[in-house]
Structure 1
Amino acid sequence: MYSTIKLLIIQLRPKQWTKNLLIFAALLFSFEKINITTFLDTLLGFFLFSFISGCVYILNDYVDREADRNHPTKKNRPMASGALNPYVALTFGGFLLFASLIISYFQNPLFTVLLIVYFALNVAYSFILKHVVIIDIMVIAAGFVLRAIAGGLVIHVPFTPWFLICTMLLSLFLAIGKRRHELFLLENDKGTHRKVLEKYSFPLLDQLNSIVTTATIISYSLFTFTSGRTIHLMWTIPLVIYGIFRYLYLIHIENKGGSPDKVLFEDKPILVTVILYVVSVVFILAFFE
């Protein structure tokens, strides 16, 4: 029993929950609303979104368990390795999904709708959309945008179009990097794990990343000037540029980028940049707005 519970927790991939920290972005940029209530609401939203994303991981791993056995690292996942009964995992996921949606309804009914949309989108991704070139990347990016919107819903604050555009572009940047890393790992046998990789090439992904990188930097710069917040947010632009350039370095020189959450904690320059960015935004909004 203990080993099964441990495997179920691993199956939820808590190490990847760092992606859901994006929910805190709305609270960060709504500095005047930060208090114990909004923090706890955001924290609860973070865990609920993490549980829903965990249910998605369960479904993904169930669907991909045969293909994952051919992947150099994914073959060690609980279902792919055979350590966890797939049907036990599905039952657990169904219960967790239902409980999370019920709790989210009492927080904000719109948040519940968003969680349903997120789950449905990822189910469609698992069965169909992950096989459609370009669309697969856009669906991954859409998941990050939904996280950003969720952060506003749980504390009942509106979000600006520029904020969502920046989130979407940065998410596309990370999704393209993820595909490029997968292509690198499986370059000589790319169709055996993910069929859609056969339709990608390094030149195509590099061109897409060039477009998205440029658009991200320009959009964030415009956001700092036109978001209605203090103009002093412009001082965070160099941190954003460095963070993006550092990630490009990791993608092209060190052949990383498959797991943005791992890069965040394993690459000290990226981690320091993120910390400095958060501290800078808090300081600027606290003293210059």
Structure 2
Amino acid sequence: MTVDNTALAPPLVVDLDGTLLRSDLLLETGMAFVRHKPLSLFKPIRWLLKGKAALKEGLAKATHLDVTVLPYDQEVIALIERERVKGRTIVLATASHISLAERIAEHLQLFDQVLASNSERNLSSHKKRDLLVELYGAQGFDYIGNSLDDIEVWKSARSAYVVNPESGVERRAAAHGNVKQVIQSNTPGLNHWMKALRLHQWMKNALIFVPLFAAHQITNPLLVWQGLVAFLLFGLCASSVYLLNDLLDLADDRHHASKRNRPFAAGRLSIKSGLIAFPAFLATAFIGALLLLPWQFAAVLAAYYVLTLAYSLSLKRHMAIDVISLAILYTVRIIAGAAATSLELTFWILAFSMFIFLSLALVKRYAELRDARKKGHTEKTRGRGYYPDDLEMISSLGASSGYLAVMVLALYIHDQSTNALYSHPQVIWLACPLLLFWITRIWMLTHRGQMHDDPVVFAVRDRISLMVGALFALVFWIAA
């Protein structure tokens, strides 16, 4: 007579945060709360004073997470499905709030029972262990977990499954001699951090050197050194902003075709690590600015950070305000370069910058809306203030803004200060058709659906744009 051992298998108990889910629901709801209710930041503190269980309940009820797009670990799901086929009872046991756990269980349709925290109980560590022992007995269940809090549970489990363990967890779990399997499905790497920090976006900070070129001081070693330091510090501040922006935009990014692959949205990097990294980068940027450069640079850097934070929290969801804000953020980089090198800015540089970067910001919006219309969407785009039907107006505004930048350049040629800077200012007229060609080409490519990157990043990678840029610089060199 053959005995079916699977029928005798105890329940398989699965942890949620960091195990089934490549994230932490407490931090997920916390970031969602900050994004949607930034003026109510003291509420979570009041909840926490009542205990961690009260905090979890408060955040769960004050926010709404779309559980269908959360970053689930597919290897853990595959393990659960294999055990379900064998007829095992599958239990979700989590320290997250019961309302979130039940919604996830309903979405995944993998669990026979859900055990979770409520307003009176934070189901973590020994409390989870005690409840499981009470329900199934010591060594009466198998347990899948990942953290130090799970050590206590593994002690009373028949078999331990360790998933993407935190530092030191695998060693301590192995000490009990019941580890059946270690799953390494999500190892954060340097490439994930490079992607999260958006190092390729640092090329935008090259605008810091515009005042040096405009004042013909690019051969001044002291000013060039100050510009390089400003470039590095601005990059650190910008990366800090990118990290914070990704943490605040988790929900929207997961609904976006490409942004859902960003490290935090995809669960490749933990929210906790992001909350540590972004203030560290920010502090380094400001300390360096105060110690190494004129105080005016630190003031401009602070203005950039405040505007970027306002953009992330609110401005980017408002029609027109978002693209104007982006144009200002580009222009602030030029102002930062002038502050770092103590050079004066002209009206012409600022006007040219605002118009050209407003045009490029509208390129970015047009590309997003074109994709939405192509997919048949008619409603307002998620996290933005535009409808797909706004395409024609956006293209009109964007092209007009780009051509206004050419007009500013043409007027600059006849300014008295230009005659003082250039030996042959009339040669600069050759730059006008070059800029007209480039702007027209950018908008035509966008209209055809061939603009898949940030337009500034596209320009740096595009061979024709680089050729136009080289000719543009040559014109100014000849004029000088």
TM-score (norm 2): 0.56
**What value does the CA root-mean-square deviation take over the aligned residues?**
2.0
Q: In the TM superposition, what is the alpha-carbon distance from 1:200 to its structure 2 partner?
A: 6.3
Q: In the TM superposition, what is the alpha-carbon distance from 1:234 to its structure 2 partner?
A: 2.6
Q: Distance in 2 between matches of 1:28 and 1:139?
A: 25
Q: Distance in 2 between matches of 1:240 and 1:76?
A: 35
Q: In the TM superposition, what is the alpha-carbon distance from 1:90 to its structure 2 partner?
A: 2.2
Q: In the TM superposition, what is the alpha-carbon distance from 1:281 to its structure 2 partner?
A: 2.1
| Alignment deviations for residues 26-50 of structure 1 (CA, whole Å, 9 cap, x no partner) | 1111214522222121111111111
2:363 corresponds, among 162, 172, 177, to 177
Please identify which structure carries the higher strand content. 2
2:340 corresponds, among 130, 137, 154, to 154
Q: Distance in 2 between matches of 1:51 and 1:200?
A: 38
Q: What's 2:392 paired with? A: 203
Do residues 113 (structure 1) and 260 (structure 2) align? Answer: no
CA contact (8 A) 1:247 1:270 kept: no
Do residues 11 (structure 1) and 196 (structure 2) align? Answer: yes
Q: What's 1:163 paired with? A: 349
| Residues 1:252 and 1:113: Cα distance change in structure 2 (over 3 Å) | same
Q: Distance in 1 between matches of 2:381 and 2:355?
A: 30
| Residues 1:78 and 1:257: Cα distance change in structure 2 (over 3 Å) | closer
Q: Distance in 2 between matches of 1:147 and 1:269?
A: 25
| Residues 1:279 and 1:51: Cα distance change in structure 2 (over 3 Å) | farther
Q: What's 2:286 paired with? A: 101
List alignment gaps of at least 5 residues for structure 1. Answer: none
Q: What's 1:37 paired with? A: 222
Instruction: Supply the AA of the counterpart residue of 1:76.
Output: N
Q: What's 1:136 paired with? A: 322
Q: In the TM superposition, what is the alpha-carbon distance from 1:94 to its structure 2 partner?
A: 0.2
Q: Distance in 2 between matches of 1:279 and 1:24?
A: 17
CA contact (8 A) 1:79 1:86 kept: yes
Q: Distance in 2 between matches of 1:255 and 1:6?
A: 26
Instruction: Supply the AA of the counterpart residue of 2:275.
Output: L
Q: Distance in 2 between matches of 1:40 and 1:3?
A: 35
List alignment gaps of at least 5 residues for structure 2. Answer: 1-166, 168-186
Instruction: Supply the AA of the counterpart residue of 1:146.
Output: V
Q: Which has the larger radius of gyration?
A: 2
My pick for the range that moved more, 38-47 or 229-238, is 229-238
Q: Distance in 1 between matches of 2:327 and 2:458?
A: 17
CA contact (8 A) 1:225 1:234 kept: no
TM-score (norm 1): 0.91
Q: In the TM superposition, what is the alpha-carbon distance from 1:249 to its structure 2 partner?
A: 1.9
Instruction: Supply the AA of the counterpart residue of 1:225.
Output: H
Q: Distance in 1 between matches of 2:389 and 2:409?
A: 28
Q: In the TM superposition, what is the alpha-carbon distance from 1:213 to its structure 2 partner?
A: 2.5
Q: 1:122-271 residue pairs with structure 2 within 5 A? A: 122-187=308-373, 188-189=376-377, 191=380, 193-198=382-387, 201-226=390-415, 228-229=417-418, 230=422, 231=425, 232-256=427-451, 258-271=453-466
Q: In the TM superposition, what is the alpha-carbon distance from 1:147 to its structure 2 partner?
A: 0.7
Which is bigger in relative contact order (C-alpha 8 A, separation at least 6)? Answer: 1
Q: Distance in 2 between matches of 1:254 and 1:128?
A: 28
Please identify which structure carries the higher helix content. 1
Q: In the TM superposition, what is the alpha-carbon distance from 1:13 to its structure 2 partner?
A: 0.2
Q: In the TM superposition, what is the alpha-carbon distance from 1:210 to its structure 2 partner?
A: 3.4
Q: Distance in 1 between matches of 2:456 and 2:357?
A: 13
| Residues 1:218 and 1:283: Cα distance change in structure 2 (over 3 Å) | same
| Residues 1:149 and 1:257: Cα distance change in structure 2 (over 3 Å) | farther
Q: In the TM superposition, what is the alpha-carbon distance from 1:53 to its structure 2 partner?
A: 1.1
Q: Distance in 2 between matches of 1:199 and 1:87?
A: 36
| Residues 1:102 and 1:4: Cα distance change in structure 2 (over 3 Å) | same
Q: Distance in 1 between matches of 2:260 and 2:401?
A: 32
Do residues 59 (structure 1) and 244 (structure 2) align? Answer: yes
1:70 corresponds, among 246, 255, 269, to 255
Q: Distance in 2 between matches of 1:119 and 1:23?
A: 16
